[in-house]
Amino acid sequence: MAASAQVRFRPAAAGDVAAAVPLIHSSGPGAFEYVFAVPGRSDAQAFLRHAFVDGAGEFGWRNHCVGELHGRVVAVGAGYGASAQWAFTLAAARQILAFFGWRHAGGVIARGLRVEGVIRPPSGRMHYLAHLGVEPALRGRGIGAALIEHLAAQAAASGRMPLALDVAVTNPRAQALYERCGFAVTGERPSALADARGQVPPHRRMERWGQVMGN
């Protein structure tokens, strides 16, 4: 039986933090390190663990689903609409301040806002897919496509359309997966964001309207 057929998707829980956060980080390591890594203070995954366990906002466990294979978390993803952005902003500000303190929080928030100029938040009726990650050893076995269809079913239930996501121009393998799942590139945003911690490559916005035949 294919690995994708054996994966069971469920809402994430705080206890998934150890397995889920590395997968979330793998969805955009350059951008995460650019925003959340503070020399002498922490790397990005340390903050992501804090935010995931907190539960609220874009990075909290309540915003994610996980895929389990033989009882082990091997995939993670999130899907949400524009209506969540205000709550996400408040939660992120609170989590950043609590984790980094007043000395570093302003810089983290400023870098996050710059990244939003490249990876734009959802708008209108869009259902945005984010933080898509599959365990490296299991990639290419259909789990990523199954994760996308699980999130697509949630979008259909919410009545939001189109599905949308962003992919780095440096990640052609992921773009090929999204194209097989019915997504098409609708635009590209340049990026010159980089520092000693991370680099944010240009990103392409991809969208999908309706279901893909056979899914």
Residue 45 lies in a domain: yes
Domain count for the chain, please give it: 1
Residue 13 in domain: yes
Containing domain of residue 90, as a range?
Answer: 3-163
Full pLDDT tens readout for the chain, 215 residues: 567 779 999 999 999 999 999 999 999 999 999 999 998 888 999 999 999 999 999 999 999 999 999 999 999 999 999 999 999 999 999 999 999 999 999 999 999 999 999 999 999 999 999 999 999 999 999 999 999 999 999 999 888 999 999 999 999 999 999 999 999 999 999 999 998 888 999 999 999 997 654 44
The CATH number assigned to the domain holding 51 equals 3.40.630.30
Burial of 66 from C-beta contacts in 10 A (0-12 / 13-18 / 19+): buried
Q: Examine residue 106 and state whether it is found in any structural domain, yes or no.
A: yes
